């Protein structure tokens, strides 16, 4: 299925949960937050929220800033 991750169009296997998406993308950073279609997906729900075609996802972390 098609989705957008951090502004880039990507092709993903069907039926992924948010946890599986992070695994699929090789995300290892210990602290990330995920937004799906404008709404934060709480970490406790990463294992149950399933993505659907056309989802717009943002995966963010803390970086240096003032």
Partner 1 sequence: MDELVLGGHRFTSRLVVGTGKYKDFPTMNAALQASGAGMVTVAVRRLDLKARGEASLLHWIPKDMVLLPNTAGCFTAEDAIRTCRLARELQLGGENPLVKLEVLSDAKTLLPDVEETLEAARQLVAEGFRVLPYTNDDPVAAKKLEDAGCAAVMPLGAPIGSGLGLRNPYSLQMILEQAKVPVIVDAGVGTASDCALCMELGVSGLLVNTAISGASDPVAMARAMKLATEAGRLAYLAGRIPRKLYGSASSPLAGVIGAA
- Binding residues for partner 1 (CB under 8 A): 5-7, 25-35, 38, 40, 42-43, 58-66
Q: Nearest distance from residue 52's CB to partner 1, in Å?
A: 20
Q: Nearest distance from residue 26's CB to partner 1, in Å?
A: 6
Q: Nearest distance from residue 24's CB to partner 1, in Å?
A: 11
Report the Cα 11 to chain-centroid distance in Å: 13
Q: Show the 3-state SS of 26-48.
A: CCCCCCCEEEECCEEECHHHCCC
> Helix or strand or coil: residue 48?
coil
């Amino acid at each position: 299925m098609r989705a957008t991750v951090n502004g880039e169009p990507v092709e993903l296997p069907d039926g992924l949960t948010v946890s599986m998406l992070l695994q699929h993308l090789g995300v290892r950073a210990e602290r990330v937050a995920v937004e799906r279609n404008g709404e934060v997906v709480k970490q406790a729900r990463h294992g149950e929220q399933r993505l659907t075609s056309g989802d717009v996802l943002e995966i963010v972390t803390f970086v240096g800033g003032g």
